[in-house]
Amino acid sequence: MARAWGVAAGLAALALAPLPAEAQDYDIEASRLLASPRFEAARQSLAADYDTIVADLITLTEIEAPPFKEARRAAAYAQMLKAAGLENVQTDAQGNVMGLRKGSGGGPLIAVAAHLDTVFPEGTDVTVKREGNRLAAPGIGDDTSSLPVLLAFIRAMDKAGYTTRADILFLGDVGEEGPGNLRGMRHLFNEGPYAGKIDAFISFEPGKAGRITHGGIGSRRYTVTFKGPGGHSYGAFGLVNPAYAMSDAITQFARMQVPASPKTTYSVGIVEGGTSVNSIPFATTMTVDMRSESAEELAKEEAAFLAILPGAAARENAARSTKQGEITYETTLIGDRPVGLTARSAPIVEYARASSEAMGFQVHYGSSSTDSNLPMSLGIPAVTLGSGFTTHRAHSLDEYLELDRENDLASMSAGLATLLLLAKAD
Amino acid sequence: MARAWGVAAGLAALALAPLPAEAQDYDIEASRLLASPRFEAARQSLAADYDTIVADLITLTEIEAPPFKEARRAAAYAQMLKAAGLENVQTDAQGNVMGLRKGSGGGPLIAVAAHLDTVFPEGTDVTVKREGNRLAAPGIGDDTSSLPVLLAFIRAMDKAGYTTRADILFLGDVGEEGPGNLRGMRHLFNEGPYAGKIDAFISFEPGKAGRITHGGIGSRRYTVTFKGPGGHSYGAFGLVNPAYAMSDAITQFARMQVPASPKTTYSVGIVEGGTSVNSIPFATTMTVDMRSESAEELAKEEAAFLAILPGAAARENAARSTKQGEITYETTLIGDRPVGLTARSAPIVEYARASSEAMGFQVHYGSSSTDSNLPMSLGIPAVTLGSGFTTHRAHSLDEYLELDRENDLASMSAGLATLLLLAKAD
C-alpha cells in the first residue's frame, strides 16, 4: 500500500487539494452519490444493522476503558474489526487497534477513527441501563457510540459492493481523553506502522451529522503541587498549610476572565492531598485544564494562570509560620494539544458539508479538542464528525444517549457518504 | 466488686476527693512509699523484667492493629493479661480487653489503660528493626510501648506482695487514634461491664514520668463534600465547579482567628475530588480538624466554620451557571472528643506529681487528646501519664524508640508509685 501510494502521490494529492469552485462541485458529487442505487444499498445495510450497532455499543460500553487501560476493550474491538472483514488487523505499540480496507490502488490513505478510552476511572459501574429509548452508562456516548458505527460503515460498503480508490484504515484509538494527551494519535502519525503515510483523517464522535469540527482547540494542562513542612494539626498549629495556598490559587483562578470568542476555557478537574485528619498536609495537588480556539488566547491564559501561583504561595507564607519550612510549588505540564485548523475550503470539509446538507442537516462549523488536533497540527487535512447517536451529560456519571432510529441512521448515512466521496468510491 | 464498692462509697469518695493541704501531704506519702522495702522489691521486679517488657513490646508491635482492626493484637494482649494473673479477663463488645486485680475491698475501682490501636493502615510493614538501642517500627511507641509496662506493673505488685484497697482494672483498649474516635472509652464508661463503676482512670502513653496530661483537648472533625452537576471542562465551561466552592470555603477558614489561650486550632488535613483533568468535578471533599482546650472556644470555632459553608456555595452558584444543577454541600461529623479537665488539686494529679518529683523528674502539666478525655468529660478524675519509653516520630513510618534502661525504669517506677498511692496499697 505504502509503495503504491508513493508511486501515485501526484494523483492523490490532486484528489485532496482544493480545486477552484468551477472545477469541482462538491454538492453535485454528493447528490449524485446519495441518489445512486449503490448508496441506497449501503443505507439499507445501515438500517438493517441498527440493532447490531446498539448491541455492539452495549457490549463495548460494558468493557471499561479508563485512560491507559483500554487494552480489554481494544482486544474486543480488534475482534470486531476482524469479523467485519478488514485486513492486517493489528495493535500498535501504544494500543491503537486498526485494520485496513484496501482500495483499488492509486488513491490516498484515509484514516477513520473512534477513540476507545473514556474519562472514567477503573471500577466505575459501566452497566448499561435501558429505559425506553434511553441507554445510560458512563462513557456510552463519548466515544463508545462511534466504535460500532465504523463497523457498520465497513459492512455497508461491502454489502453495497463499493470499491474505493483510497485505502481506508479503520481505528479504535487510545489516549484521546485528558490524561492520554493524544498519545494514540501521536504514535499513529509519528511512529506507528502508518506514520507518514496517512493523507486525511476523520475522527467520529457522538452527535448528529452537520456538526463539522475543523478547528482543533488547543490545550495546556498542568498539575501544580504545593508543598510544605507538614506536622501535627494541633501540636504544629500555626505552620503554613499547602491546602490553604492551593485554595488561594484556585480562588484566584476561578475569577479569571476569558473571551467567549475565540472560545477560551479553564477548569480545576482534580484536587488531592493530605494523609490524615490530624496532620497538616505535606503536599496538595491541583489539576488544571486550559483551552482555546486561539493559540494567542491560550498563551495569554496560561501566562495569567502561572502568574497566580507565586502570590498564592507568598500569601500563605506571610499568613502563617515558616519556621519549619515554606510553602513551595511545582508545576508539571501534563497536556499539550496543539491548536489546529483544516480550511473550510479543504475537500474533506466540503465533502462533509455537502453530504450533511444533502441529507437535510444544517451545518455548524466548530472547533474542539479531539484526535483531529494532532493531524491538523501536522498539516494533514482532518475533521471530526458526528457519528450519529446523540449523547447527553458526557463525562458525567449520568451520561446517556437517546436512540432516535431515523435521525441516527440519517447521520450515519451522511458520515458514510463523506467517507465514500473522499475515498473516491466507485 | 461493684457491690462492695457500692457499700463503701463514702470511704472511697473520701480517698479520691481533694483534702485541705494540711490534712494530706502527697509528698510525704510518696516519699514514704518510695523508701519502703516493699517498693524496693517492686522496683527490682521491674528491673528484672526489663528484657521481658522489650520482648513483649516487639511481639505486640509486630501484630498490626489499625483502627477498627485491633482484634488480633487484642487477643494476644488478653493472653498476656491472663498470664500475668488477672481475674475475669474478658473482651467487651467494642474489642477492649481487660482483667481485674482485686483489692482487699472497700476501695474504689481504678482503671489503668494503654491503647491497642495505631494510626497505620493494614499492610504497613510493622517488622521491628533494632539498631543498637533503637527499636524502629510504625506504632512501636504510640501506644504499643505502654502495653507491656502494664503487665510489668502487675508482676511487680505481685512480687512485692502488694494488696490494695482499690480494685484495679487493667485494659488494652481500642479506638484511641483519630478514626476510632474514643469508641473504646465510650463503651467502657457508658455501656460495657464496668460502665458507671469506674472511679478514676489512668491512661499510659509513651514518654517520661513528669509529663502529666490533666486536660483533655476537645475536638470536632468534619468532612465537607461539595457537589455539583459536573460536566465537560470545555463543552460545559461556565457551569459551577465544586472545587471552586470548596477553595472559597478553605480560604475563608484559613483566615479564622482563634485564641492562643485557651489553645484553639484548626486544620484542613485532606482535600480530594474530581475524576479527570477534562471534567468539572461532581464532588470534592475536605477533611477538617478543630480543637480547643475550651469547650466554649471549640463551640465558637465550630459555629464559625459551619457558617462559612453556605456563603462559599452561594458565591459559586452566583459566579457561574447553575442550569445543570447547583453547588450543594454535606457535612459529616467524623470526630467528636469532649473537652475535659481534671483539677491540678485532684489526688490523681497530686499523686502523679509527687511520685514523679520524688523520682527526680521535672513536672510539666499539659493538655492533649487522649483516652482520658472521655472520663474527664464525665467528671471522673483522669490523667494520662508517661509509661517510660521515649518515642520519636510518632504517627510517621519511621517511628522509633530509644531504649534507655535506667531512665525508662525510673519513669515506670514513678508510674507504678502513682497507681499504688491512688489504690491505697498496703
* B124-170: pLDDT as tens digits: 999 999 999 999 999 999 999 999 999 999 999 999 999 999 999 99
Q: What is the C-alpha separation between A239 and A237, in angstroms, rounded?
A: 6
CB-CB under 8 Å, B230 with A395: yes
C-alpha cell at B301: 470555632
**Could you read off the pLDDT of A192-201 as tens digits, one per residue?**
999 999 999 9
Q: Which residue has the higher pLDDT, A295 or B70?
A: B70
pTM of the model: 0.73
CA B381 and chain centroid, separation? 15
HSE, side-chain direction, 13 A CA sphere, residue B55: 7
The mean per-residue pLDDT over the stretch A286-291 comes to: 97
The mean per-residue pLDDT over the stretch A66-89 comes to: 98
Q: DSSP assignment, residue B49?
A: H
Count A/B contacts: CB-CB distance under 8 Å: 203
Nearest CA in chain A to B283: A270
Nearest Cα of chain B lies from the Cα of A81 at a distance, in angstroms, of: 29
Chain B neighbors of A179, CB-CB under 8 A: 276-277
Helix (H) or strand (E) holding B289: strand B283-292
Residues of chain B with pLDDT under 50: 1-15, 19, 21-22
Q: Residue B18: its pLDDT value, please?
A: 52
Q: What is the C-alpha separation between A266 and A303, in angstroms, rounded?
A: 13
Q: What is the C-alpha separation between A116 and A93, in angstroms, rounded?
A: 15
Q: Does A396 touch chain B (CB under 8 A)?
A: yes
Nearest CA in chain A to B366: A235
Q: Does B268 touch chain A (CB under 8 A)?
A: yes
CB-CB under 8 Å, A67 with B275: no
Q: Which of A233, A247, A271 sits opposite B267 (nearest CB)?
A: A233
Chain A neighbors of B236, CB-CB under 8 A: 395
Q: Residue A231: its pLDDT value, please?
A: 86
The mean per-residue pLDDT over the stretch A269-290 comes to: 94
Chain B neighbors of A232, CB-CB under 8 A: 395
Q: Which of B234, B243, B291 sits opposite A369 (nearest CB)?
A: B234
Fold classification of A11-216+340-422 is Aminopeptidase (3.40.630)
- The ipTM is 0.77
- The three-state secondary structure class of B120 is coil
Q: What is the C-alpha separation between A120 and A126, in angstroms, rounded?
A: 9
**Could you read off the pLDDT of A386-426 as tens digits, one per residue?**
999 999 999 889 999 999 999 999 999 999 999 999 999 98
Which CATH class name applies to B218-337?
Answer: alpha beta
In chain A, what percentage of residues exceed pLDDT 90? Answer: 86
Q: Residue A4: its pLDDT value, please?
A: 28
Contact A189, A374 (CB under 8 A): yes
Neighbour tally for B59: CB within 10 Å: 17
Nearest CA in chain A to B218: A234
Domain spans, chain A: 11-216+340-422, 218-337
**Could you read off the pLDDT of A201-237 as tens digits, one per residue?**
999 999 999 999 999 999 999 999 999 998 889 988 9
Q: Which residue has the cell 447528490?
A: A31
Q: What is the C-alpha separation between B154 and B102, in angstroms, rounded?
A: 11
What is the residue-averaged pLDDT of chain A?
A: 93
Query: Is residue A14 very low, low, confident or very high in pLDDT (cuts 50, 70, 90)?
Result: very low
CB-CB under 8 Å, A269 with B287: no
Q: Which of B237, B279, B369 sits opposite A234 (nearest CB)?
A: B369
- Count of positions (residues) in chain A: 426
Query: Is residue A18 very low, low, confident or very high in pLDDT (cuts 50, 70, 90)?
Result: low
Q: Which of B266, B270, B276 sits opposite A274 (nearest CB)?
A: B270
Contact B98, B89 (CB under 8 A): yes
Q: Which of A250, A335, A395 sits opposite B232 (nearest CB)?
A: A395
Packing angle, helices A71-83 and A147-160, rounded to 10: 10
